[in-house]
Chains A and B, each alone.
Chain A
């Protein structure tokens, strides 16, 4: 450790075309360092903790305003749930034949979003993708909150919400037992497993950082709060060995969930015999869509957050670019699946399949289909150009379009497949009634939880990011030495 001088603040522009001149390269791996600037370990701790350690009363008013706005959305959600309890699903536009509409659309939308978090935290971890360390904490938090939103959608869509315990194998005097042959029952277990494992994974990663906050605490409540969450972490070598093992095991648990959870969600549709749903490509198609939508949500959250929290040196434009590449890949996969659905319908020679897909793109819901195509397939194509995929504004707008498109994808799958059923006399054009409040409410819940997370939890994995600093490498001899200096 030749050079452990405190960081000098270098003004770093976000423009990637000049960054190469300023950013110090990783002298060991020969690549540009993941953390920009001449940063030391202490900088990471300070940069991440300062948001959490601001006194409560000195929370910036812009943040308080955002939190209040999200809280209003959360209250809207609570009020809507109360209304739904009281009135039942009659407040929705659902009816025969469109018996699944926004309730299921919102569920699939939210549960899909979670997948990017698990991919970043588990699969990229197992593949030793070090850039994940800057963004994994955000992404995992997003997973947890998105699954909470998804679970509330699916729990609330049953109508008689107080009977939801029927979903679980609990001994009861009615001798009711779940039907384990039903994909809806598989879904109950898939989502529960997903939530449990994601929560454990997130929490395990947080423990050393909670301990950092505990040790730095200057007021009693923070010491107690973070002390309780840190579970007595002292940072001994033995703790670290146990921690690394636990983290790897949980990563191994989580990795298959990235593929399995949304596959099971797709079975809700694919196992039925409805044209438009009964398709073998659904599992991979849904998983690609989930990762696609999830990364878009990460971008939507992280681009404003990194600017607002002053973490641009830790979540660099390179992170944004990497995620945009994944969005381009998965978006193109989803586009391939859209095309393949048409091919399968045509190749099968089944006139009902054929009708469903012609009707999907040129029938009464043509507008939803083409919103989906333009947002999901066309808009990410701009990321073929480096200049565009390294522009945060373009990245944010495309991510927002992708989120819109992915919501419409689920709408197209649910509603347009159902609204023309086998009896033309029951054909119906579904129109939502109050559902938009439901969707807005879940966004309120999501953002409220997310802003609380930003305020009280370390938003960057402090201990992990420190391991990717050049200084963490035992062979490091200070900037400029390894390669003979600049």
Chain B
């Protein structure tokens, strides 16, 4: 009787098994690596209606971040400055520049400048700037610096996203925040570096932090009856 299948089909079970296992592993890797915000979002630098340079304003002129992003310590949103904030200076400085025409149009018409947002967490993730730039109480006061999440904005002519803002990236810091803490008055300092004394202090401060949510083991009672908290949030801290 003639054979139904050719000889090479004998390898199909092995090839098929290898393809399923290898394909599964490959698909996992592809999604894990190329679909992650670290790959899709980092480097996002859209063209803005006005080619505003942070390098010029924040770097060379040393304007404090909070002059424009003035809600950062009070609100969940740092805020994009209104036209009026820009015009505080630009009514007097370079008032005829063609590059600033959209700004002057906005000022004349009462419409907003269509700035494009760069750093964005999804709607289902609650993030509050004010809770991050000032945290802890009393002598344990500390902050996360602007530079920690946004990078050296003072060196960027065009601002781009430098950190992935992915959930895993959030959790990395929430699990071990000490390395990213700094004195509250150094929040906007792009060049500040921790010294050894601060590093030890930051570890103590991190233990006092009260994370949002109540995942098990986020809190631990010490033997003396005080509560030790770890800055690891539960799901409902951010996904409210």
Distance between B70 CB and nearest chain A CB, rounded to angstroms: 32
A214 to B5, CA, bound (A): 12
**B114 close to chain A: CB less than 8 A:** no
Q: Mark A210-246, 1 if CB is under 8 A from B, else 0.
A: 0000100000000110011001100000000000000
Cβ of A174 and Cβ of B167 under 8 Å apart? yes
A231 to B12, CA, bound (A): 10
A170 to B4, CA, bound (A): 41
Chain A residues with CB under 8 A of B31:
172
Chain B residues with CB under 8 A of A232:
5, 10
Cβ of B10 and Cβ of A172 under 8 Å apart? no
Chain B residues with CB under 8 A of A62:
none
Distance between B194 CB and nearest chain A CB, rounded to angstroms: 25
Chain A residues with CB under 8 A of B10:
232
- Considering the complex, which residues of chain B in the window 164-186 have a beta carbon less than 8 Å from any beta carbon of chain A? 164, 166-169, 171-172
Q: Supply 5 further A-B pairs (C-beta < 8 A) apart from A173-B32, A174-B167.
A: A170-B28, A172-B32, A173-B38, A175-B171, A227-B5
Interface residue from B5, B28, B35, B168 paired with A175 (Cβ < 8 Å): B168
Chain B residues with CB under 8 A of A223:
4
Chain A residues with CB under 8 A of B38:
173
A223 to B13, CA, bound (A): 19
Q: Mark B65-99, 1 if CB is under 8 A from A, else 0.
A: 00000000000000000000000000000000000
Number of interface residues of A (CB under 8 A): 14
- Most chain A CB neighbours (cut-off 10 Å) among B31, B37, B38, B172: B31
- Considering the complex, which residues of chain B in the window 159-208 have a beta carbon less than 8 Å from any beta carbon of chain A? 164, 166-169, 171-172
Cβ of B32 and Cβ of A171 under 8 Å apart? yes
Cβ of B4 and Cβ of A176 under 8 Å apart? no
**B36 close to chain A: CB less than 8 A:** yes
Distance between A166 CB and nearest chain B CB, rounded to angstroms: 11
Q: Mark B45-61, 1 if CB is under 8 A from A, else 0.
A: 00000000000000000
Distance between A209 CB and nearest chain B CB, rounded to angstroms: 17
- Considering the complex, which residues of chain B in the window 1-49 have a beta carbon less than 8 Å from any beta carbon of chain A? 4-5, 10, 13, 28, 31-32, 35-38
Which residue of A is nearest B167, CB measured?
A174
Q: List 14 A-B contacts (CB under 8 A).
A: A172-B168, A173-B32, A173-B35, A173-B164, A173-B166, A173-B167, A173-B169, A174-B168, A175-B168, A175-B171, A214-B4, A227-B4, A231-B13, A232-B5
Cβ of A173 and Cβ of B36 under 8 Å apart? yes
Chain A residues with CB under 8 A of B35:
173
Classify chain B's interface size: 10 to 19
Which residue of B is nearest A173, CB measured?
B36
Chain B residues with CB under 8 A of A172:
31-32, 36, 168
Interface residue from A171, A174, A214 paired with B166 (Cβ < 8 Å): A174
Q: Is the interface of A mostly helix, strand, loop or mixed?
A: loop
Which residue of B is nearest A231, CB measured?
B13
Chain A residues with CB under 8 A of B4:
214, 223-224, 227
Which residue of B is nearest A215, CB measured?
B1
Chain A residues with CB under 8 A of B32:
170-173
Cβ of B28 and Cβ of A171 under 8 Å apart? yes
Chain B residues with CB under 8 A of A231:
13
Chain A residues with CB under 8 A of B36:
172-173
Which residue of B is nearest A174, CB measured?
B167
A228 to B6, CA, bound (A): 11
Instruction: In the A-B complex, list the 9 residue pairs whose CB atoms are closest, starting with the nearest.
Output: A173-B36, A175-B168, A174-B167, A227-B4, A173-B166, A171-B32, A173-B168, A175-B171, A174-B168
Distance between B13 CB and nearest chain A CB, rounded to angstroms: 7
A223 to B172, CA, bound (A): 58
Distance between B116 CB and nearest chain A CB, rounded to angstroms: 23
Distance between B125 CB and nearest chain A CB, rounded to angstroms: 10
Cβ of A175 and Cβ of B13 under 8 Å apart? no
Chain A residues with CB under 8 A of B169:
173
- Most chain A CB neighbours (cut-off 10 Å) among B4, B28, B32: B4
Cβ of A176 and Cβ of B167 under 8 Å apart? yes
A170 to B171, CA, bound (A): 17
Interface residue from B5, B13, B37 paired with A173 (Cβ < 8 Å): B37
Chain B residues with CB under 8 A of A170:
28, 32
A228 to B13, CA, bound (A): 11
Chain A residues with CB under 8 A of B13:
231
A171 to B164, CA, bound (A): 16
Distance between B167 CB and nearest chain A CB, rounded to angstroms: 4
Distance between B193 CB and nearest chain A CB, rounded to angstroms: 28
- Considering the complex, which residues of chain A in the window 311-331 have a beta carbon less than 8 Å from any beta carbon of chain B? none
Which residue of B is nearest A230, CB measured?
B4
Distance between A119 CB and nearest chain B CB, rounded to angstroms: 29
